[in-house]
Chain A
């Protein structure tokens, strides 16, 4: 037993990227005039990062395992948001009631519906659109772009071209107030959901048999196949899970913005790509840290210098790539 342990040393965790988050938060502290503002901004940044992580995690996992970059991922985000409007708006009695449990029940229902729809669509998308072009990067990019165009048009055909307003449930509006510090309730929920998703992914990947297969597949899918596992089935499962996560992220993001448009997925996609590049293509842990960094930097810069806020993410990406050209946690295979 001890021999086996010697033969296969546990990979040491690279702690430097982890330290980036507290370092950036601490560096922002002296720049921001008051402590309460800093706390508010930090929580807002973490919440934004968590929501981006929910949307990006599925995409980066799919890329890591299947070597497929799905440019139509944004469409799943949009579909998730629109399904949520179809569930939440008729349930106005529940969402506008002054009871936390009813609000959460309605939200849970919307999330489940969105994840079911986007997960099922993900399976269909993998079968019809992506399956024929495994291993051909150029065609993958083109075909998923085509899928994005068609999906966006279908969304408009089904839900109409207009922006839909989606108010937050009654008890999730407003803020918790501690002295001078105000923290929006919805952001706390976003952080909790994001942490739950991260914990669930971490446990599934590291503590279950399926997770073992996925991690092995990321390292070398041919080897896993030659050991007798049907890696294609794992592919479909991961793709469905990734799409469902996009749907969940879409619901969270839509409620955060309180509006739903057919272009919202594509707008978030830019942030998602930046996060995935920062994290190292295919790495879930890197994606988590990248999301939090992007969220924090966007909020700090947005407060300090609103003019350059929109470019701050690109700047962050360039800086990180100059430091580590493969991203924070490069995946060994690539």
Chain B
């Protein structure tokens, strides 16, 4: 019990249903190569891991500190491009990957500090607008400096031998699955994402995290008690940026590709917003639920909607609305309803259902 308590930093799911959901996700991801064999499903599982980390780091900003940043994909992209540029220009060695990661992390931290110090003094709206402009500028920069970043096409590169799908680690298959480089990289992504998620959980449950929540609730009072809100916000911005870059690094290791569409585009920013709000802002576990739900919906909801679209053929406009490409429409509506009706998202909903139970166990 104490191990679990330490791992979760004393912040339990506090709901039976939520615990069950989280366990299913954890087990599903931990044994993904064996439970869901096949390239597509393993891709989905790895993407879920990366996005859980990315969304959790965004939740630190949005849910815990109460600041809206549109530059989160920029830090995600810096991480991915760090690996991509290092691996393609210095060769596929562990040393170059480490160098690329460190450079990316340092770059992210510096940039986040700069943005934070320059614009976190002002209001939420102003910060959101500034970050939107900076992120757009950065995306343009990445596609313009094509000699360095590969432009719109992005960069494809190779990694150390162990991480490549061609390398076999065990002669005989384990539980009917070949243990190759693909599986090694999956577990690298999985364990790194899980560890960093627990670190973020630790951060929000530390005294530092409490101050962030105090600032979110009322920055004037927090300041009056003696906490410099600019300093705390800037540090939170840096921590979130570092975690986002780490997610980018993992994503680049998994995809062996980095390009503007997969890391820097505004669409990804929108996806992150949807995940964090639908999952539940200010809960951390919301990131797990939101990212899993979203990535699965992104991959499989379209198949379902294809069926609905065929079924609705003949009715005016309805087929266009349930067309497989319109899945984002329905998630958008769910997003708006979430902000109005249940601001703590799915996690908040599950927790409030278990309120009575929660009081008894306390």
Write the residues of chain A forming the contact surface with B, with a CB cutoff of 8 angstroms.
63, 69, 71, 129, 132-133, 137-143, 145-147, 149-150, 153-154, 156-158, 161, 266, 269-270, 273-274, 276-277, 281, 307, 310-311, 314, 317, 334
Does A145 lie within 8 Å of B273, measured CB to CB? Answer: yes
Does A146 lie within 8 Å of B68, measured CB to CB? Answer: no
For B31, list chain A residues within 8 Å (CB).
Answer: none
With A143-B339, A317-B133: A310-B144 Cβ-Cβ less than 8 Å: yes
Q: Whole-angstrom distance between the alpha carbons of A83 and B320 in the complex?
A: 18
- Please name the residue on chain B nearest to A143 by beta carbon: B339
Does A139 lie within 8 Å of B339, measured CB to CB? Answer: yes
Q: Which of A142, A150, A314 contacts B277 (CB 8 A)?
A: A142
Tell yes or no: B107 within 8 A of A by CB: no
Does B141 lie within 8 Å of A311, measured CB to CB? Answer: yes
Does A273 lie within 8 Å of B328, measured CB to CB? Answer: no
Q: Which of A156, A277, A314 contacts B326 (CB 8 A)?
A: A156
Does A158 lie within 8 Å of B320, measured CB to CB? Answer: yes
Binary contact track B321-346/A, C-beta < 8 Å → 1, others 0 = 10101101101110110011001000
| A-B pairs with beta carbons under 8 Å apart, 14 shown | A133-B339, A141-B68, A141-B124, A142-B335, A149-B270, A149-B274, A149-B332, A154-B329, A157-B320, A157-B321, A281-B125, A307-B144, A310-B137, A317-B133
Does A146 lie within 8 Å of B128, measured CB to CB? Answer: no
- Please name the residue on chain B nearest to A132 by beta carbon: B340
Does B326 lie within 8 Å of A157, measured CB to CB? Answer: yes
6 residue pairs, one from A and one from B, having the closest CB atoms:
A153-B329, A149-B332, A146-B336, A150-B332, A137-B124, A146-B335
Which B187-232 residues have a C-beta within 8 angstroms of A?
none
Tell yes or no: B136 within 8 A of A by CB: yes
Does A311 lie within 8 Å of B329, measured CB to CB? Answer: no
For A69, list chain B residues within 8 Å (CB).
Answer: 125, 128-129
- Please name the residue on chain B nearest to A307 by beta carbon: B144
Does A138 lie within 8 Å of B133, measured CB to CB? Answer: no
- Please name the residue on chain A nearest to B140 by beta carbon: A310
Q: Whole-angstrom distance between the alpha carbons of A140 and B123 in the complex?
A: 13
For B277, list chain A residues within 8 Å (CB).
Answer: 142
Tell yes or no: B148 within 8 A of A by CB: no
Greatest chain B CB density within 10 A among A143, A157, A317 is at A157
For B317, list chain A residues within 8 Å (CB).
Answer: 157
Does B68 lie within 8 Å of A142, measured CB to CB? Answer: yes
Does B336 lie within 8 Å of A311, measured CB to CB? Answer: no
Does A137 lie within 8 Å of B123, measured CB to CB? Answer: yes
Q: Whole-angstrom distance between the alpha carbons of A266 and B144 in the complex?
A: 20
Q: Whole-angstrom distance between the alpha carbons of A273 and B119 in the complex?
A: 15
A20 to B: closest C-beta gap in Å: 20
Q: Whole-angstrom distance between the alpha carbons of A116 and B128 in the complex?
A: 30
Q: Whole-angstrom distance between the alpha carbons of A281 and B127 in the complex?
A: 12
Q: Whole-angstrom distance between the alpha carbons of A91 and B87 in the complex?
A: 56
A259 to B: closest C-beta gap in Å: 18
B265 to A: closest C-beta gap in Å: 10
Tell yes or no: B36 within 8 A of A by CB: no
Does A311 lie within 8 Å of B137, measured CB to CB? Answer: yes
Binary contact track B29-72/A, C-beta < 8 Å → 1, others 0 = 00000000000000000000000000000000010001010000
- Please name the residue on chain B nearest to A325 by beta carbon: B122
